[in-house]
Amino acid sequence: MWNELKQDISYSKFYLKEFLIFSALIITLITFLIGNFDKILITSLIVFSINFLSIIYLSRKRRNELAEIEKIITNIRNNFYEVADEIILSENLSSLEKAIKLMFEKSKNDIEYMRKLQRVRSEFIANVSHELRTPIFAIQGYIETLLNGAINDPKVNVNFLEKAVHHTNNLSNLLNDLINISMIESGEMQMSFRYFELAPYLNSVVEELKYLAEEKNISLNCQPIREGLQVFGDKERLKQVLNNLIQNAIKYTEKGGVEILVEEEKKFVTIKVKDTGIGIPEDQISRIFERFYRVDKARSRAVGGTGLGLSIVKHILEAHNSKVEVKSTLGVGSEFSFKLKK
Ligand SMILES: Nc1ncnc2c1ncn2[C@@H]1O[C@H](COP(=O)(O)OP(=O)(O)OP(=O)(O)O)[C@@H](O)[C@H]1O
Ligand SMILES: [Mg+2]
């Protein structure tokens, strides 16, 4: 009890200046009103005492409030709360309670976001190492076998060298994809937007990939496009998008073929890459744009995929203020489309 009073008095020191000014003001006022100097001493004493008691009372209130706030802060520091609603202050501190709750939620979200980034980064590094290991081990294996004598065996030497080259190409494609992703993420990817004519551009992209379809005995066609139709975008980057989409369509189609369609709207042109391939399960459509995501890992790797293509496509189209739409039916085929400004 005495200790508490001592603490109250010591808190009251912070308001000493206000206390003295306030008391002096009241005493002056009373002196002026009463006009009787005999009573001044007694009146001053009463005013002084009342003021002193009120200041002690207020100090105690304030000390309790500060203790309450301090407790909440300590609890937050010790991760005592799971959710913001567990933070409760007395009613007169309700606006502070609201502010602390908002701060708590923000820092919780920030931490969650940072944890997620950390997780994504670790997963990314694990995926990259895993993907690099496959071709490097294969190349190593072929070269060592050749050095151990197979080089003089005409039945296998050329075949092994060809396989080693195949894996070198995979390695080089993977590195290119990684360079692209890192450029996109660091904001270093320079885009150069301009108008260009769609028909010759699309036809040449398709022409360059024809051999892939021929190798698989499927068709690859581009529907006729109106002459003079211009679209706005970065030609080089869009070529990457089309290459990825068309190569996917060819890779994941065994019979039938791939068709490129162009639909003209008032302000936009929609480019569609449609195939009659294996299709994508509905619940996985939203995931195929994630880095390294493949619906069927084994199958994808067998046809030379690392699962980076569509994530690059997504980023490039986002830079064009566009996005990829996907329609797909398992066993029937898929359609990837995106819009470009006219
Ligand atoms: N046209 C398609 N038909 C069926 N599945 C597809 C098609 N396009 C993409 N996919 C699925 O989406 C996954 C992700 O595609 P993405 O292009 O990102 O990777 P990838 O083709 O496996 O490898 P990469 O493009 O890096 O060489 C593929 O592994 C495949 O399972
Ligand atoms: Mg791909």
Domain boundaries, the chain: 2-80, 125-185, 194-341
Amino acid at 162: E
CB 268 within 8 A of CB 341: yes
Q: What is the pLDDT at residue 258?
A: 97
Q: Which atom of ligand 1 is nearest to the CA of 249?
A: 1
Ligand at shortest distance from the CA of 327: 1
Q: What is the pLDDT at residue 301?
A: 66
Q: What is the pLDDT at residue 297?
A: 72
Query: Residues 19-31, buried b or exposed e (16+ Cβ, 10 A)?
Result: beeebeebbeebe
* DSSP 8-state assignment for residue 277: S
* DSSP 8-state assignment for residue 284: G
Pocket of ligand 1 (CB under 6 A): 177, 244, 248-249, 252, 275, 277-280, 288, 293-296, 300, 305-311, 334
* DSSP 8-state assignment for residue 83: S
3-state secondary structure 152-181: HCCCCHHHHHHHHHHHHHHHHHHHHHHHHH
pLDDT tens-digit readout, 195-228: 999 999 999 999 999 999 999 999 999 999 999 9
Q: Could you tell me the pLDDT band of residue 300, with boundaries at 50, 70 and 90?
A: low
Terminal Cα-to-Cα distance of the chain (whole angstroms)? 82
Residue bearing the CA closest to ligand 1, atom 13: 294
The DSSP H or E segment spanning 220 is: strand 219-222
- Top CATH class of 194-341 equals alpha beta
Lowest mean pLDDT among 1-15, 48-62, 92-106, 175-189: 1-15
List Cα–Cα distances, 216 to 120, 206, 209, 294, in angstroms.
36, 15, 12, 21
Which ranges of the chain does DSSP label H, i.e. alpha helix? Answer: 2-12, 16-34, 40-77, 94-147, 157-185, 198-215, 235-251, 297-302, 309-319
List Cα–Cα distances, 121 to 3, 128, 131, in angstroms.
56, 10, 15
**313 alpha carbon to ligand 1 midpoint, in Å?**
11
Residue reference for tokens 């993977």: 174
Q: How many CB atoms lie within 10 A of CB 33?
A: 9
CA gap 70, 103 in Å, rounded: 15
Cα 54 to chain center, whole Å?
56
Q: Does domain 125-185 have CATH number 1.10.287.130?
A: yes
**174 alpha carbon to ligand 2 midpoint, in Å?**
11
Amino acid at 96: L
CA gap 261, 283 in Å, rounded: 26
279: left (phi over 0), alpha (psi -120 to 50) or beta: left
**272 alpha carbon to ligand 1 midpoint, in Å?**
16
Q: What's the predicted TM-score (pTM) here? A: 0.72
pLDDT tens-digit readout, 81-117: 999 999 999 988 999 999 999 999 999 999 999 999 9
* DSSP 8-state assignment for residue 38: G
Is 292 a residue whose pLDDT tops 80?
A: yes
Amino acid at 312: I
Q: Which atom of ligand 1 is nearest to the CA of 296?
A: 31
Q: Could you tell me the pLDDT band of residue 141, with boundaries at 50, 70 and 90?
A: very high
Beta bridge partners of 326: 336
Backbone angles phi, psi at 340, to 5 degrees: -130, 150
CA gap 62, 139 in Å, rounded: 75
CA gap 252, 328 in Å, rounded: 12
Q: How many CB atoms lie within 10 A of CB 318?
A: 12
The mean pLDDT value for 116-125 works out to 90
**244 alpha carbon to ligand 2 midpoint, in Å?**
5
What six digits make up the tokens of 249? 């369509």
CB 264 within 8 A of CB 342: yes
What six digits make up the tokens of 19? 């206390």
Is 147 a residue whose pLDDT tops 90?
A: yes
